Chain A
Amino acid sequence: GNSVTQMEGPVTLSEEAFLTINCTYTATGYPSLFWYVQYPGEGLQLLLKATKADDKGSNKGFEATYRKETTSFHLEKGSVQVSDSAVYFCALILLSNDYKLSFGAGTTVTVRA
Chain B
Amino acid sequence: DVKVTQSSRYLVKRTGEKVFLECVQDMDHENMFWYRQDPGLGLRLIYFSYDVKMKEKGDIPEGYSVSREKKERFSLILESASTNQTSMYLCASSLGTGAQETQYFGPGTRLLVL
Chain A residues within 8 Å of B, Cβ to Cβ: 4, 31-32, 36, 41-46, 49, 51, 89, 93-95, 98-101, 103-106
Task: Specify which chain B residues have a CB less than 8 angstroms from the CB of A101 in the assembled complex.
Answer: 43, 45, 103
Task: Specify which chain A residues have a CB less than 8 angstroms from the CB of B102 in the assembled complex.
Answer: 46, 49
Task: Specify which chain A residues have a CB less than 8 angstroms from the CB of B45 in the assembled complex.
Answer: 100-101
In the assembled complex, the Cα of A109 lies from the Cα of B90 at a distance in Å of: 20
Please judge, given known A-B contacts A89-B42, A105-B40, whether A95 and B90 are in contact too, CB under 8 Å.
Answer: no
Q: Verify A106–B48 contact, CB threshold 8 A.
A: no
Q: List the 10 closest A-B pairs by CB distance, nearest first.
A: A43-B105, A103-B42, A32-B99, A44-B105, A103-B43, A105-B42, A99-B97, A43-B107, A46-B102, A43-B106
Which of the residues B41, B48, B56, B101 comes within 8 Å of A93, measured between beta carbons? B101
In the assembled complex, the Cα of A98 lies from the Cα of B56 at a distance in Å of: 11
Task: Please give the number of chain B residues whose Cβ is less than 8 angstroms from any Cβ of chain A in the complex.
Answer: 24
Known: A43-B90, A93-B99, A105-B40. 12 other contacts (CB 8 A): A32-B100, A36-B105, A43-B92, A44-B43, A44-B103, A44-B105, A51-B99, A89-B43, A99-B97, A99-B99, A100-B48, A101-B45
In the assembled complex, the Cα of A41 lies from the Cα of B106 at a distance in Å of: 11
| Of listed A36, A43, A45, residue having the most chain B CB within 10 A | A43
Q: Verify A106–B42 contact, CB threshold 8 A.
A: yes
Q: Verify A42–B107 contact, CB threshold 8 A.
A: yes
